[in-house]
Amino acid sequence: MSGLETRTLNGHTDSVFSVAFSPDGKRIASGSKDGTVKVWDATSGQETLTLKGHRGFVFSVAFSPDGPRIVSGGDDRTIKVWDAKAGKEIRTLRGHTNRVNSVVFSPDGKRIASGSEDKTVKVWDASTGKLTLTLGGDSSLNESLPAGHAPLFR
């Protein structure tokens, strides 16, 4: 490995906060201060999709483990789930009371976790969008977990 830059992806009109490779390594998603998520061909560098729907900055993006979905979190306190091929919004998840700084799919793709400036982590059912668990700040963390809970991600 040379450590040399192989490609620059130009297209966002403001700062880029987050990038993620698709599981097969063929695409890259990026989230930006310009309020968009862009999807790029990782080989050619061509922009293939622009996903618009957030009102404000997009702080975090991630692909589902099987690749057909992208999740994004932003300044508008929402999490959006997108069809990564068609570029259509599948659903919007609401529940945070401040900006969403981080999003991720579980390894099996069945759940989405989001971290927010509201000092919570929320876990959502990826197919229904239903909120399944909220983990609070330091003192409330243990009280937030149901008795006999399973690990968040296996």
One digit per residue, the tens of pLDDT, for the chain of length 154 reads 678 877 778 888 889 999 999 999 999 999 999 999 999 999 999 999 999 999 999 999 999 999 999 999 999 999 999 999 999 999 999 999 999 999 999 999 999 999 999 999 999 999 999 999 999 855 344 333 343 444 454 4
Domain boundaries, the chain: 16-144
Residue with tokens 């959006």: 80
- Looking at residue 7, its pLDDT comes to 76
pTM of the predicted model, to two decimals? Answer: 0.85
Give the contacts of 27 (CB within 8 A, at least 6 positions apart).
21, 39, 40, 41, 42, 48, 63, 67, 84
| Range 16-144: architecture per CATH | 7 Propeller (2.130)
What is the pLDDT at residue 137? 58
Per-residue confidence (pLDDT) for residue 154, from 0 to 100 = 44
